[in-house]
Structure 1
Amino acid sequence: MDVKKFVEILGSDYYAGVPDSQLRALCDYLMDTYGIDPLHHVIAANEGNGTALAAGYHLATGKIPVVYMQNSGEGNAVNPVVSLLSSEVYAIPVIFVIGWRGEPGVKDEPQHIHQGRITLKILEDIGVSSYIISKETVEDEIIAAMEGFRKELAAGRDVAFVVRKGALSYKKKIKYQNGNQLTREEVLRYIVKYSGKDPVVSTTGKTSRELFEIREAGSKEHKYDFLTVGSMGHSSSIALGIAQQKPDTKIWCVDGDGAVLMHMGALALIGANAPKNMIHIVINNSAHETVGGMPTVAGRMDLTAIAKACGYRYAISVDDHRELEKELETVRLRNELALIEVKCAVGSRSDLGRPTTSAVKNKEGFMDYLMKLK
């Protein structure tokens, strides 16, 4: 159905959330209608953050907000849902709109399968009534569902629309871009060059997909890389755990700005531990590009200053080939925790594929390699 009609039926003028490819039509509509506007539309750091923002909106206005997310973000939202919004606590009504990746019976990537299977069960367990929207769902059905939901919202309970692939449409496709010149794939090629045979932990989404294809194109082994296909925001913590156990081996973490924002406390923990053998590279295109390109706030923050304040011994930002190569060589030779922020453009190859090996095979090959290192 047309997303404009869906939004009209929901009847809210405040949206907070984390972008999702399944909800691309909604995200594009919100960006086209509001852009980033604290009164109407906020792209949150993570789904729990979005839920808390919605609670604040309700407290200030008495009106009902909408929180949107991919179902992989349900875990981030569970705590504020059950300990803040709950009708047994503050009884704050929120409408959730959740993209259903990994829906049973629908082919999807491995990181979505388990989450997709338990999506509705999680909502049931936390007391959130749900209604599924598919391509076949008509306007009158959503109106009827919303009428039933209004009684629950009035009682301080939360509800959710779970959206199947292709269920929502928007005729206008928004193009997202910035003024940066480097592409992420170019950045990854340089990282592969300078990391050599060092272990690399890469973040969720297109970063890991591109890294896999770069190794393939160069006929290089995949044993050097741990491709974090799920658990967005946790790659740096995985890398820290490895670095602490392998103090004589350089460990490279290739991160993204959206991932860093999602669980930013990891920076403080990494800085406090300050592993001398860890190199943290943040490819910053100020966008949630893997799910469509909607912006993050990372283009307006000083990431290197934050890293230094957290305890990183060395942190620098680059935006061209020459500086990138220079800094990769510098951190490779240093014996201290370092961060390089690389500012890059939004976009990727249209024919970008996905890893052809399973997640378990990737883990096993990576672990076998790690076991041979000091």
Structure 2
Amino acid sequence: MISAQDFCDILADRGFTTASGVPCSHFGGPIAHLSTQPGRYVPAPNEGSALAVAAGAALSGQRAYVMLQNSGLGNLINPLTSLVMTYQLPILTFASLRGWPDPATDEPQHAVMGPSTHRLLDSVGSPHYTLHAEDTTDRFTELLDSAQKDLDAQQAPFVLVERGAIGKAAVHEAAPPWGVASSTAIRVVTDSCPEASVIATTGYTGRDVFAVADRPGNFYMQGSMGHASSLGLGVALAHPERTVVVLDGDGAVLMHLGALSMIGHEGPANLIHVVLDNQSHESTGGQATTSATTSFSAAALAAGYRSAVDCDSEDSLRNAVLKAMAASGPHLISVRTLPRTGAIPPRATNALTPQAIRDRFQQDLNGS
């Protein structure tokens, strides 16, 4: 293992002045360390945007690197192949190796990408190297020496990072929190519309929903970050007779913010989109999102939602849900939530297979 500070310092000594990325627990240490230094790290909404930021830095003569989870390589492939490779911009990317070498040791959403990561990069001609948990700073330096040859050849190499290869760092203390506990907000929403079909976004939100409000009409997303609202739109359009509630997170909404425009355009009267906004990527270590400078309610109204409100208490949230139930949507409800404390509930797939979650949700939709 190498320390988070050594990781950042070695790269800085090599002239890398800019970093961007989407949080993964593997990179919690470096992101926390860089975030204490203004201008060193750009928190991106998705992996493709992170790579494009680095491409802009490279185009401007700076050295840049990207950090991301390998599950996000799908978001990265388009700008990698059509921007970075096309213009031969030398960018170094660090990708975690979730679901590798043994997919059974990780969450089910990593079962496909984990064993495929190396082959995927091979398929597009990206050179790559692996940093193992037992590797030292000397080995890290050797990998960077190899990657430097690729950068000199105007290629975009990857360093694939095994779990435990990079140490942690203290997370910067944020301002004192305020808002509603996530589990409380979820219970208020689900109690207010007990017959609704519920789409729960990935991460801790899905775990909380499973713990406090599990029922057959819930669909728990494993991975696919940022797509809960689009999935909910598909369900809402297919079943206009059924209220559909999307329980989303601030980081997930920001990842694919354009979905708001799609939902506003389609105008499903039966869709209620609830954003639990704790201003952090909590399941990867509490790294800050950019929601502090974004109004989800204003964005939703501008995108064509019929209504959008902000809530910061149980009563205001309950009233907002009941009002949305009584009027044609789509509606967006943004609720400020507190950082989670105590033990985190297990994910739904600890008790149910993904296929079982699918089957019982479909049966509930069909009234059987």
Length-normalised TM-score, structure 2: 0.94
Equivalent position of 1:360 in the other structure: 355
Name 1:9's counterpart in structure 2: 10
Q: Which moved more, 1:266-275 or 1:105-114?
A: 105-114
**Alpha carbons 2:199, 2:232 under 8 Å: kept:** yes
Q: Residues 225 and 176 (structure 1 numbering): CA distance in 2 closer, same or farther, change over 3 Å?
A: farther
Q: Report deviation, 1:63.
A: 2.4
In 2, distance between residues paired with 1:180 and 1:27? 24
| 8 A contact 1:185–1:210 mirrored in 2 | yes
Three-state SS of the structure 2 residue aligned to 1:6 is helix
- 1:272 matches 2:260: no
1:177 Cα deviation after fit: 5.9
3-state SS, counterpart of residue 315 of structure 1: strand
Q: How far did 1:161 drift? A: 1.3
Q: Once the two structures are superposed, what CA deviation does each residue of 1:336-361 show, in whole Å capped at 9, x if it has no partner? A: 21110001122243242222211111
Task: Report whether the alignment pairs 1:322 with 2:315.
Answer: yes
Structure 2 counterpart SS, 1:342:
strand
Counterparts of 1:139 and 1:26, CA distance in 2: 14
Gap change, CA 1:340 and 1:121, over 3 Å in 2: same
- Alpha-carbon spacing, 1:166–1:83, altered in 2? closer, same or farther (3 Å): same
Determine if contact 2:189/2:317 at 8 Å carries over to the other structure. Answer: no
Q: Does the 8 Å contact 1:200/1:226 carry over to 2?
A: yes
Indicate the SS of the match to 2:180: coil
In the TM superposition, residue 172 of structure 1 has moved relative to its aligned partner by 3.2
Structure 1: which amino acid aligns with 2:53?
A: L
The 5 Å alignment of 1:240-255 reads 240-255=233-248
Q: 1:31 to 1:267 in 2, by over 3 A?
A: same
- Shift in CA distance, 311/172, structure 1 to aligned 2, threshold 3 Å: closer
Distance 1:5 1:69, change over 3 A: same
Counterparts of 2:89 and 2:158, CA distance in 1: 14
How many angstroms apart in 2 are the aligned matches of 1:171 and 1:275? 44
| Matched position secondary structure for 1:128 | coil
**Inter-CA distance 199–114: structure 2 relative to 1 (3 Å threshold):** same
- Structure 1, unpaired ranges of 5+: 216-220
Task: Give the equivalent residue in structure 1 for 2:69.
Answer: 70
The residue aligned with 2:298 is 305
| Local SS of the residue matching 2:356 | helix
Residue 7 of structure 1, CA deviation: 2.2
Match of 1:218 in 2: none
Counting matched residue pairs gives 361
Match of 2:218 in 1: 225
Residues 10-29 of structure 1 correspond to what in structure 2 (within 5 A)? 10=11, 11=14, 12-29=16-33
- Structure 1 length as normaliser, TM-score? 0.93
| Aligned residue runs from structure 1 range 169-208, under 5 A | 169-176=167-174, 179-208=177-206
Letter of the 1:31 counterpart:
S
Tell me what 1:162 maps to.
160
SS state of the match for residue 243, structure 1? Answer: helix
Tell me, in whole angstroms, the C-alpha distance in 2 between the residues paired with 1:329 and 1:23.
41
- The RMSD of aligned alpha carbons is 1.5
Answer yes or no: is 1:83 the counterpart of 2:82. yes
> What is the percentage of aligned positions where both structures have the same residue?
31
Q: State the alpha-carbon separation in 2 of the partners of residues 173 and 135 from structure 1.
A: 22
Residues 1:213 and 2:214 aligned together: no
Contact preservation (8 Å) 2:233, 2:271: yes
Q: State the alpha-carbon separation in 2 of the partners of residues 172 and 315 from structure 1.
A: 36
Letter in 2 for 1:170: K
The corresponding residue for 2:148 is 150
Aligned mates of 1:203, 1:315 — CA distance in 2: 19
